[in-house]
């Protein structure tokens, strides 16, 4: 069985498991992190299955990076956070848990500690509402 057959993000790309999408194009998909570190935490992934920064094809890396900027701009417009952390993990030792290339965009507020990502499941309605705001900003 191929690596991508069991990969949770490949399943999201194929529509086999649901996600709350922000943006999609030929090479990338952006969606809400289901266990966010802060409200508005969004993931941008390459559609092609590739484990990490060391192995991603340059064209996919560029495509993801351009979308990261666009989605970050939309989050800024929609949610007006004080700051934004953009991060990416390579290998279990670095904290990576899903071995399919992705970039985290985590809105931050002055004086508020950022929680750990991948821990507490967010309220689905809150995720939908944040996603609608980000999508609207992206389209405007
Ligand atoms: P990392 O591998 O960089 O540590 O983080 C993986 C991220 O993927 C975590 O923040 C986790 O909450 C998120 N994640 C894991 N499974 C799913 C899923 O099925 N749907 C969504 N939307 N996010 C997921
Ligand atoms: Zn994958």
Closest by Cα among 56, 48, 61, 52 to 4: 48
Q: How many domains does the chain have?
A: 1
| Ligand 2 center to 94 CA (angstroms) | 18
Structure tokens at 130: 């944040």
CA of 70 to the centre of ligand 1 (A): 20
* Pocket perturbation via mutation, ligand 1, pick of 33, 39, 101 by most ligand atoms within 8 A of CB: 33
Residue nearest ligand 1's atom 17 by CA: 34
- What CA–CA distance (Å, rounded) separates 36 from 99? 18
Pocket of ligand 1 (CB under 6 A): 8, 17, 19, 31-35, 89, 95-98, 117-118
Q: List the Cα angle 7/58/86 in 5-degree steps.
A: 70
How are beta strands 42-46 and 102-108 bridged, if at all? antiparallel
Report the chain's mean pLDDT, rounded to a whole number: 95
Give the catalytic positions in this structure: 102
Task: Write the CATH number for 89.
Answer: 3.30.428.10
Could you report the per-residue pLDDT of 70-93, keeping only the tens digit for each?
Answer: 999 999 999 999 999 999 999 999
Task: Residue 47: name the closest of 19, 69, 25, 22 by CA.
Answer: 25
Q: For 13-57, write each residue's pLDDT tens digit.
A: 999 999 999 999 999 999 999 999 999 999 999 999 999 999 999
Per the structure, the complete domain to which residue 92 belongs is given by 3-139
Cβ-in-10-Å burial (0-12, 13-18, 19+) of 46 comes to: buried
């Amino acid at each position: 069985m191929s690596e991508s057959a069991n990969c949770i993000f490949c399943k999201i790309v194929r529509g086999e498991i649901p996600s709350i999408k922000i943006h999609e194009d030929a090479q990338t998909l952006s969606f809400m992190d289901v266990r966010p570190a802060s409200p508005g935490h969004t993931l941008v992934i390459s559609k092609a299955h590739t484990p990490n920064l060391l192995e991603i094809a340059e064209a996919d890396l560029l495509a993801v990076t351009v979308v990261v900027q666009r989605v970050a701009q939309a989050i800024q417009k929609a949610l007006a956070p004080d700051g934004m952390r953009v991060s990416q993990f390579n290998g279990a030792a670095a904290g990576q848990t899903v071995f399919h290339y992705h970039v985290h965009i985590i809105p931050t507020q002055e004086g508020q500690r950022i929680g750990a990502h991948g821990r507490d499941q967010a309220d689905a309605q809150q995720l939908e509402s944040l996603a609608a705001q980000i999508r609207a900003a992206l389209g405007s």
